[in-house]
Every structure is written in structure tokens, then in C-alpha cells.
Amino acid sequence: MKYPKKLLSLRGLQGGQFGSIDVTAVSDALIELDFGPDFDRLSPDAARSLVAALTRWLDQLPDVMPAPASMRELIVILEG
């Protein structure tokens, strides 16, 4: 894979100054989460922990759950 490679863009999120998150693979060893001008980098182990935590949370939700009205404008861009 060529780096950096943008994996996902989320726009129209609640909170924060910019309401966006970009997920970019910056190398084989790091994923970067960009929150406007701020960012955090995760190792593969940290990224796996984040995915596991989100999966546990999602697994406990009802199968069909309407998004709150304020989240219906969320824009998800998957880059491949």
C-alpha cells in the first residue's frame, strides 16, 4: 500500500470545532485520526483495541435503531 492512504472521512459530526474525522494510514505501523487541525496516531495494537471497544458497543445495540435527528446529516466517505 502507498502511504499516506486516506481510509475514511466522516463529516457532519456532533461536537468539536470542525465536526469531522479523517482516518489515514500513514505507514504499516500507524493509523492517524484527524480531528480538524488536531490528530492522534494509533499503533496496530491500539487500533485493534479501538475496534474491539466499538464492536462491543455496537453488538449491544438493537439491530434497527434510528439515528437521532441531529445525526441524519452525517456524511461518510469510504476511500479505497
Question: How high is the pLDDT of residue 71?
Answer: 56
Alpha-carbon distances, residue 22 vs 42, 56, 60, 66 (angstroms): 13, 22, 26, 24
3-state secondary structure of 16: coil
Q: Mean pLDDT for each consecutive 10-residue tract of the chain (80 residues)?
A: 94 86 96 94 96 91 69 62
- Domain range list for the chain: 5-78
